Amino acid sequence: MKKVTTLLLTAALFAGMLSCTGQKEESDEKFRAGWELVWEDDFEEGLNMNEWSKIPRGKLHMNRYASMHDALYLSQEGNLVLRAVPNSVPNDTLPFLTGGITREGLKAGEVARIEVKVRVNPAEGATHYLSLLPADQSKNISIDFMEHYGMDEFIYQSVTSEYTTTLGMAENPPSSSLVGVNPVQYRIYGVEKYPDSLVFFVDDLRTRKYPRILTDMPGQFPFDEKDFNLFLGIRLNSDTDPAQLPADLLIDWVRIYKPMAEEEE
């Protein structure tokens, strides 16, 4: 379901500033001022099952068509390609199969930055996502630092919590924003977590901030109180036209940063 909260359109910020090619660059700058790279996966050797798990099938929209089938997890030109396809597996009655991966993301109380470089092969009815979800599987809590719907030529970055959903406070502060970038080109999507805020990025340009605010309402900023796991993948609507598929998420790399330690005098 598309975001219905007030959107902060930032398309003008990116006009003329970002690369207009969908081709992979030969190198990417790993240095981030004030940050230390502590973990990365460039998928040059394909999917490392010591670092990642395939998302298992479940009852959520995200994983109701999830499959472990190797055809959904391809290694291609240094990318890990996750696919969503019509189901042709014998004795499997679901109409579609989708690929997705997960691993440890952010620890409670820590300051950290996650970046993922991807591009999408879109399809009507498909949603590509880069998300952080609570390790304790808390309901209605998520950090979505990239969601792309159907054939849209833009992406969403948003947060979900009890405060934004059950209590209906999605506008104070705004919980969702639209970023006008072309997702079929390679982009670097990122989020930084602090005790009092989440800060979102596209291609190292800051797009928005979601702050902790003073309020008597519960659950406004649960994002520093829980461990979060990282989820990357594609989900499909139940009425997706199989003729529109496949849809692909091409992952170039994933990086995790921690604040750089101050040097002792």
pLDDT at 23 exceeding the cut of 60? no
The domain total for the chain is: 1
Burial class (CB in 10 A: 0-12, 13-18, 19+), 56: exposed
Structural domain contains residue 106? yes
Structural domain contains residue 27? no
What is the domain range of residue 243? Answer: 57-259
| pTM given for the model | 0.90
Structural domain contains residue 217? yes
Question: What is the per-residue burial (b if ≥16 Cβ within 10 Å, else e) of 111-139?
Answer: ebbbbbbbbbbbbebbbbbbbbbbeeebe
Q: What is the mean pLDDT of residues 189-212?
A: 97
Structural domain contains residue 40? no
**CA-based nearest residue to 166, from 209, 218, 214, 224:** 218
Given this model, what pLDDT does residue 88 score? Answer: 93
Structural domain contains residue 126? yes
Structural domain contains residue 28? no
Structural domain contains residue 229? yes
CATH (domain of 250): 2.60.120.200
Each residue's pLDDT tens digit, 223-260? 999 999 999 999 999 999 999 999 999 999 999 999 99
Structural domain contains residue 149? yes
